[in-house]
Amino acid sequence: MIVIYSALFFSISVIVHSIVQRYIKCNSVISFAIISSFFGLILFWKSYLEFFISIQSLSILFSYFFMCELYIFFFTLIMSSISANLILDLGFNKKIKISNEITNYEKMVDARVARLLNNKFLIEIDGILKTTNKGRVLNKTFLYLKKFFRHKNLICKKNL
């Protein structure tokens, strides 16, 4: 019953999100977060009425969150991962010749810059790209995380 409840509400969230994405142009992560939170609240209310605050109601809620998180992880990976994009491209085009001469790497940068501009992490002033406050906060957070996880830095020369 627990799994059925969570899986049912998760499926509803995915379907509603899929419909919304076709009619409203918005950030897919934010729209899924809003939709899944809304259905999460309904699920919480429903499980509270049935089980009150118990192991059962907690497990319904957490398994629902787990499915939602996994789904967000999966679709953001598909949209932004180089490997996933390559697999999709090859799936649609059957065969692709790849070499440094013909692969447009600048297009990879352009697509990401466009997404960052669209999500207001960057701003273009007189043809020069600048970071917004949101972009600077993101940059600082991930520099801290890089240090925390002991990752090598690809381009940073100094600590900003």
Partner 1 sequence: MFYYVLIFILIQFISYMLIVRNLYIFKSEKGIFLYHLIPGLLITAITIYLWFILKNTVLADLILCISLYGIYAISFLELWSLAQGGYSLSIIEEIRIAEFECRKPDINKLVSIGKIKFTNRIQSLLNKKILLEEKGNFELTSKGRLIFTVLNFVHWLVNGKYQHIK
What residues numbered 10-49 form the site for partner 1, per CB under 8 A?
A: 14, 17-18, 21-22, 28, 32
- What is the spatial distance between Cα 66 and Cα 72, in angstroms, rounded to a whole number? 10
The smaller minimum CB distance to partner 1, of residues 42 and 69, is found at: 69
Please tell me whether residue 53 binds partner 1 under the rule CB under 8 A.
no
- One of 37, 103, 118, 133 touching partner 1 (CB under 8 A): 103
Provide the minimum distance between the beta carbon of 13 and partner 1 in the complex, in angstroms, as a whole number.
11
End-to-end CA, the chain: 51
Quote the Cα angle for 84-13-142, to 5°.
50
Please tell me whether residue 65 binds partner 1 under the rule CB under 8 A.
yes
Provide the minimum distance between the beta carbon of 107 and partner 1 in the complex, in angstroms, as a whole number.
7
- One of 45, 108, 118, 120 touching partner 1 (CB under 8 A): 108
Token pair listed for 79:
């949209």
Provide the minimum distance between the beta carbon of 64 and partner 1 in the complex, in angstroms, as a whole number.
8
- What is the spatial distance between Cα 121 and Cα 138, in angstroms, rounded to a whole number? 8
Instruction: Please state the φ and ψ torsions of residue 95, each to the nearest 5 degrees.
Output: -130, 135
